[in-house]
Amino acid sequence: MKRAAAILLMITLMISCFLLQGCGNIDDINDGTSSNKELTAEELYELVSPSVVEITGEAPLGTSTGTGFFYDNKGTVVTNYHVIEGCTSAEVTLANGSSYKVDKVLGYSVDRDIAILSTKCTSSTPLKIRETAVKTGETVYAIGSSLGLSGSLSDGIVSAAEREVDGQTYIQTTAPISHGNSGGPLLDKEGKVVGITSASFIDGQNLNLAIPIKDVANISTKNPITLGEVFEQTGHEVEWLSDYRFQYYEEEDTYVLLFQLADKNENPMSAIGTVDIRIVNNDGASVYEKKHSFSEDNFEEWVYDDVNEMYLATIYISPSSIDSGSTEYGTVFFEVYGNDYGFEECSIEVFDLPTKSLTIQLPQLPLTVHDYGYSSKIQASLRIDSITYEKVYEDSLYIYFSGEKTYDVNGNNNDSWISFDWKLYDSENYLVDHGTFYTDSISVGDKFKNKYVFVADGIKAGESYKLVIVGAEENNDKETQIPDTPKTPRVTSLGNYSLTAQSDNTKYAFSFVLNDQDGKSMSNSGQIEIKIVNNLGVTVYSNTRSFYKNDFQNIGSASDQKYQLTILVDKEDIDTDFSSEGTFCFRISGSEFTFEEKSITITDLPSITVQNPNTPLYVNTISFNASSGSYGVSHTVRIDSFSYEIDMFGNLSIYCSGEKTYDIKGSSSTYFCEMNWRLYDSDGNLIDYGWDTVSGLKVGDKFKDHKINITTINIIAGESYRLEVFDSSYE
């Protein structure tokens, strides 16, 4: 679990399997150890490490680990409040391995995230507190239990001496800070404490925050209390209901209602209570209604996306207890309450409710079907041995046919398809759907299995239907014979299809050729089903066009005729969406032929455009130069290219590639470079702005597809945008 800040997402830096969730001066009794000269990293570590402790807290929902440091020689430890938040007991472990119980909490502040603890350690060596404020550009060190590895030291600079986040002032530093560093000291080069490491930007690199050490003096220590009393003061009563969902688990054959309860500080918790559950399907029928009592035993750990671990109440509902209805779609309404809490009714849409079974009256099998084409004589025959069906989606149906080709007027070895018409009626004899079934090109004796037709809509659960194969039994009076006349050309293949944009770029031109059994092109009548789907899976165009023999043009010569048909698709008829790339899908068929769906890649669909800055573009980081005592260029990157992409929700991502060209600290320095950016719409309105960093590069190192952290979520399809990127300054 992680606690989210209101404006800026931050992760608190402690190892914890939960998020546990309180204020004014401490006497200036610090007389700690430090050096009055600049120390090497080795000298500094040797000096301060005995004064840094690892803190382990125990709470009802798990264990918390963080860092602290001795503030005086009486065993007083300073750390972050969130390290001991929700804990009922804790202990500190020194670098020499000795451990001491936390005796009292001398004072704490939830808002400033500071806690002052007392221990029984009588030989503590405090760290020296720096009395002057830090300056941007100073070298600093962080020490703590990074990822549980106690005594881990890292270094960096003060990238901003005062950084306001959510109304609180922090020191921003590049000193790497990991989970478990929370509460540890941020030190200057003399080993003096300048801050308490506290948090990190979740999407930044080496963008970390520390609480100024001067804030500790504002915490009152006049009323010491135990950790248990802190726990009671900060509250652990049910105040929040969140993260609810309703799911069906096929392997266990059960539905599950999940929800999270939390205290006023948004810490997840278990409780005793009741949940009233009511399920109504989209036809308005109530299919389930019941009260469920729950206790602490109903709360379980759930992991989503292999990352997010959640502590949720789990209510199981058997599918057999839900009445089967006429639709899978509906809404789950539920109300959660207990002796001292209660929440308004919530709702969740559901898409897989139990439904009544449907039945289809099928023809008696086996069934022989004749295909006459345009003749009065039978051209081909097949035997249907099996018909099955499957309901899919909300109101759709697949009907599957299996059987064998038994006759062909052109001989047993002739490959050709066979078709027959079908109709589907409901129990009141209303026609629901109809169409034509086609086999593949097969010879006499070839079998086909589970070739299907699709009923797109109109199917209702619990209804009874009747399938009719048109002409299956009524053609016995027609003579079955092989024609005396020569065989006529018939369509057997599709070729030379292409998609191009017309010169004025207002239409797409789709062309294709139909070939006969001898491989010669020919004209014929039929229809083409066109569907354009972009790379986000959105259908932006769908249409069915009929075509006729006269629509074909001879693009060959008189002696070598080649008939081609061109279908025009107006770009204005294509829906504008967020992706310019997609697929042009088409299926061509006629009374005597049909071809499987084919597709062509398309790269210029109507979508948004972003006007990027001209490249190459040099972007400077302006920061304080301690040597000169003024602000100037400290780092430079050259951006050689920009690119962008949009996801299906309209979220914009912009990427840049280039090279680091300058570093004031030298060509081997890997300090980060910053840039500011703004995004405008076509009317010049500012849509979004921010800053971004490129880090870990030396001069001459190139970077590719670095993502600029655009957070805009109101991108409009079809709109044009303009991106500006410029120098970043700490002035």
Q: Which residues are catalytic?
A: 82, 113, 182
- Going from the C-alpha of 432 to that of each of 282, 364, 459, 460, 503, the distances in angstroms are 21, 21, 8, 11, 45
Q: Which residues of 473-499 are buried (b: 16+ CB within 10 A; e: fewer)?
A: eeeeeeeeeeeeeeeeebbbebeebeb
Which structure tokens are listed for 616?
């190459």
Count the neighbouring beta carbons within 10 Å of the beta carbon of residue 164. 9
Give the residue from 507, 496, 530, 537 showing the smallest Cα distance to 646: 537
Cβ within 8 Å of residue 104, ≥6 positions away: 117, 118, 224, 225, 226
45 membership: H or E segment, kind and range:
helix 41-48
Q: Is 167 exposed, middle or buried (0-12, 13-18, 19+ CB in 10 A)?
A: exposed
- Integer Cα distance of 78 and 42 in angstroms: 24
The answer to whether the beta carbons of residues 200 and 166 sit under 8 Å apart is no
| Side-chain-side CA neighbours of residue 199 (13 Å) | 27
- Integer Cα distance of 655 and 643 in angstroms: 5
- Integer Cα distance of 506 and 31 in angstroms: 80
Report the greatest alpha carbon distance in the chain.
117
Give the residue from 502, 506, 514, 509 showing the smallest Cα distance to 552: 514
**Strands 419-426 and 431-438, bridge-based pairing:** antiparallel
Which structure tokens are listed for 631?
């602000």
Residues making up the chain, counted from first to last: 731
Q: What is the DSSP string of 608-626?
A: -EEEPPPSSEEEEEEEEET
The answer to whether the beta carbons of residues 394 and 500 sit under 8 Å apart is no
- Going from the C-alpha of 332 to that of each of 243, 274, 276, 344, the distances in angstroms are 15, 16, 10, 14
- Which backbone phi and psi does 232 adopt, to 5 degrees? -70, -40
- Which backbone phi and psi does 572 adopt, to 5 degrees? -65, -20
Give the residue from 214, 178, 261 showing the smallest Cα distance to 12: 178
Q: What is the DSSP string of 665-690?
A: T-TT----EEEEEEEEETT--EEEEE
Give the residue from 326, 354, 465 showing the smallest Cα distance to 399: 465
CA dihedral 258, 261, 262, 267 (to 10 degrees): -40
Give the residue from 234, 478, 470 showing the smallest Cα distance to 379: 478
Tell me if residue 296 falls in helix, strand or coil. Answer: helix
